[in-house]
Chains A and B, each alone.
Chain A
Amino acid sequence: MALITISTKGIAAFGGSMIKRFFSIFVPIALLVSIYIYLYEEDSPKEQGAVVVYTYSSFASSWGPGPELQKIFKEKTGYNVEFTDVGEAGIIIQRILLEKEKTKADVVLGLDQYQLQNTVITDLFTQPPEPSYKLDESTPKKIQQGPFLAYNWSPMTFIYRTSDRNSLPKKLDDFLSPKFKGKIILLDPRTSSPGYIFFHWIVQKYGVEGAKNFLNQIKKNIYTVTPSWSAGYGLFKKKQSQYVFSYLTSPAYHWVEESDFDYQPLYLEEELPYHIEYAGILKSTKNKPAAEKFLEFIFSPEAQEIIMNKNYMLPVVAEVQKNSEYEKLKKVKLFESDKIISRDEVIETWKSASW
């Protein structure tokens, strides 16, 4: 009994000194944290009348077009705009569906042409104002869809480095050659929009059986299939592969920001798939006039130029590309097929290749 009493006293004393130390260190820290959080929270609530735009990370970030568009829009119209970074484009709609009438979003930026095929999504949006701009002639034929307006786009292809000194493939089937073993990075169609575009293209181009055959042949040349575009492009930049499936406009980033002309798009002989990004106004918006103003604004030459230069995609408005680095990109033929392929068909074909 005595022994236990002594030992518990010892334990308690040991704990007691720690508890004192805990309070002397953490109470001031907790106080500072609370003050900081309180002050920070003061800035957070939505500004009165601000247009809330749900978009993906790279658009809203300080490197992306968001902050500059925000500043100019405010100067020109007096309206505030708040960009909400909802991560990747695939999650935007899930968030809106979950938030229902509670959603703060007025405008959504970043949906792609495949997401628009879902009526659950299109039903959420209202008709935007009639576009008054002239479309760039290089844009895909069916660029405007339902209640959505395309604001930038890019053909998709493989990117390579000239310093790798490879003999370049001229057509897609050339990639089946053993000399490309382990040199290609693709993106997972289940988790990445550009990844989906590649596999959708393959299924449309070759048909389901042809696509399975193509994928089974190319798989030995694949270095890896990454879950996202950023992971794939990151590995490519770290020279883990010689080709990555990406935007034809990706090299423009290296040309403009790094003055590095080593990165080039691969101009295949065949027609290339493309990625279009759309803007739409939600039916649930209580801020329609400002939302419409914002949509009109992003199609102004000034905003289109900002988007082009910070999002590294092609503008949809005519003349904006003039005298930019993007003029160095060759015009390519686009793969525009009316054949409807379901998402399940694409994913099943991809799975059947069993990497």
Chain B
Amino acid sequence: MVKNFLVGLFFLVLITPYLLLFKDLHFVSIDLKELGEAFTNTLQQSFASSAVTILLGLIGALGLCCFQGSKKLKYFELLCLIPSFVPTLFFVTSILQIIKPFPFGITGIVLTHTLMYTGLAALFYQSIFQSKFQKLSELAYLEGASKFQFFRAVLKNLSFETVMIFLFLFVQFFTSFSIPLLVGHQDLTVETLIYEKIRTTGSLPDAVFISFLESIFIVIMLLLYRAQKGLASSKSYEKIRLLSWKPGLIAVTMPVALYLGGSLVGSAMGIKQLMQNENAFQEIFPLALKSVSLSLATGLALLTGLSLLTFVYRNRLFDRFLLSYIPLSTVLIGLSLLLVDFMADDIKVIFAMLIIFLPVLYRFQLKTKLSDLEGQIEVASLMGSTRFLTFKKIIFPQVLPSILFLSGLGAFWTIGDFAISQIIYGKNVTLALHIHSLVGSYRLELANLFVFLLLFLGLIVFTLFKKIGLRE
């Protein structure tokens, strides 16, 4: 009863933007040729980007494994998060500064996507290595297996996790807007088409319909995959000797080095612009406070949402829905929430973040963690445990560190949001919005400086969440 109620509630929350815009969907006129072109281009670039990111993520994870059990690992983890956080424009300008000549076109898109998401993929794989292959590694080491032999065996047992991370990356890249436009050859992509429909032709119904088609497309992709059972997980924090390869660290540190290197250009001008404005620091304080509050509040909301998702886990249909759900584009979510009168602006922003991040975070790690517990849930169920007891005693305590990590990640991304907050608030109340308006008024260098502050605040919030999930 409670479970069905919660499933219904989640379903309702996630489709709220569609429902709000539904009454405006009078008719849809789609140019199929244009749509086909957009889907083909987007599919190509997302597929290639996901494949390369997974490959480099695996290599990066081998590098991270060198520091398993060491305090240094947490610093590398933070480094891994930076590229996916930095606003696209800043990341792209930095890498264009360093990589010359830059390979514009599909290569440029894949390269940029890969640089931005390799760290996250590496983090994901590293946590899988840690939880699944620790004991096997010790055994293989004693039996005299080489690193290469062991790595091959590990790869064979990673298919489920790889599909999950592929899905996460694929959706991120499929819905990528700025990167294909900045470093591609301006080929039509699905997100550009949606934006064009909203902005230039004013066809909201078309835009909503195309967004809906995106989800259908992912559902079809998912249907092609049949889940396989992986190895059971265990808790261990020792270094995995057979999965440690220091050169792998290059894959996760390179993107950060490229970003920081490129950001230094123009930083003197940024400082000059900061000094010119006497009130800059006074202005920044309330904005930073608001950003942190909003980020923490979103983190808490995600924590609650993800915890409840673990409670309703094992509903096959809802599971498929979550894995394939693609939220409407941010502009549409923001616009749809403007139609809601009874919510305060802060709540609307948090609500929008839940819609955007819950399925993303579920795909990213939670689904894999929950699948690992299938055996235990099965045994508990056979022994007559109730759903609530199984949740309380078995599932929740084991997935809580992951939930805290993921909530921290969502909070971290929220602090950098300007797309949703701009529509909802309509004024510069957060640091990210301030940065956005600086970019639009010629002050890119100053904006770049503030991105560092935003990054710092975001990492503090993330660490706060993650720290609670760490073992004592």
Using CB atoms and an 8 Å cutoff, list the residues of chain A in contact with chain B.
1, 4, 8, 11-12, 14-19, 21-22, 25-26, 29-30, 32-33, 36-37, 40-41, 44, 56-58, 60-64, 83-88, 90-91, 93-95, 97-99, 102, 118, 120, 182, 188, 190-191, 224-227, 229-231, 233-235, 237-240, 250, 253-254, 257-258, 312, 343, 347, 351, 354-355
Contacts and interface: CB of A to CB of B under 8 A. Distances in A.
B443 A227 contact: no
Given A36-B289, A64-B441, A95-B335, A237 B266 contact: yes
Most buried by B among A190, A312, A347: A190
A351 B429 CA distance: 38
A234 B93 contact: yes
Contacts, number: 205
B202 A93 contact: yes
B367 to A, nearest CB: 20
Nearest to A84: B426
B378 to A, nearest CB: 12
Give the 4 A-B CB pairs with smallest separation, nearest first: A15-B397, A61-B437, A84-B426, A227-B181
Contacts of A63: 437-438, 441, 443
Contacts of B266: 237-238
B379 interface: yes
A88 B186 CA distance: 20
Interface string B426-457: 11110001101111111111000000000000
Given A98-B335, A188-B181, A85 B195 contact: no
B422 A85 contact: yes
B32 interface: no
A295 B341 CA distance: 29
Interface stretch (B67-75, B219-227, B292-300): B292-300
B441 A15 contact: no
Nearest to A99: B338
A224 B423 contact: no
A231 to B, nearest CB: 5
B276 interface: yes
Contacts of B346: 37, 40-41
A62 B469 CA distance: 40
Contact of B393 (A8, A86, A231): A8
Interface of B: 24, 89, 93, 96-97, 101, 104, 177-178, 181-183, 185-186, 188, 192, 195-196, 198-202, 204, 265-266, 269, 272-273, 276, 279, 283, 289-290, 293, 296-297, 300, 331, 335, 338-339, 341, 344-346, 379-380, 383, 392-394, 396-398, 400-401, 404, 422-423, 425-429, 433-434, 436-445, 464, 468-469, 471-472
Contact of B398 (A11, A237, A238): A11
A343 B203 CA distance: 14
Most buried by B among A63, A120, A225: A63
Contacts of A343: 200-201
A217 B279 CA distance: 49
A41 B397 contact: no
B92 to A, nearest CB: 8
Nearest to B398: A11
A87 B423 contact: yes
A240 B331 CA distance: 29
Nearest to A350: B186
Contact of A231 (B89, B380, B398, B471): B89
A234 B451 CA distance: 15
A315 B433 CA distance: 27
Given A84-B427, A190-B196, A15 B443 contact: no
Most buried by A among B265, B346, B379, B397: B397
Contacts of B192: 190-191
16 contacts: A14-B471, A18-B404, A25-B464, A26-B300, A61-B437, A64-B441, A85-B433, A90-B200, A93-B202, A98-B335, A191-B195, A231-B89, A235-B93, A240-B93, A240-B96, A257-B442
A91 B182 CA distance: 21
B293 A36 contact: yes
Contacts of B434: 61-62
Contact of B198 (A22, A94, A347): A94
Contact of A312 (B183, B380, B439, B442): B442
Nearest to B300: A30
Nearest to B470: A18
Contact of B204 (A21, A98, A224, A225): A98
Nearest to A121: B202
B396 to A, nearest CB: 6
A258 B269 contact: yes
Given A98-B339, A238-B266, A29 B196 contact: no
A57 to B, nearest CB: 4
Contact of A18 (B24, B97, B469): B469
A187 to B, nearest CB: 10
Contact of A4 (B379, B437, B472): B379
B120 to A, nearest CB: 24
Contacts of B188: 351
Most buried by B among A56, A57, A191: A57
A58 B93 contact: no
A91 B426 contact: no
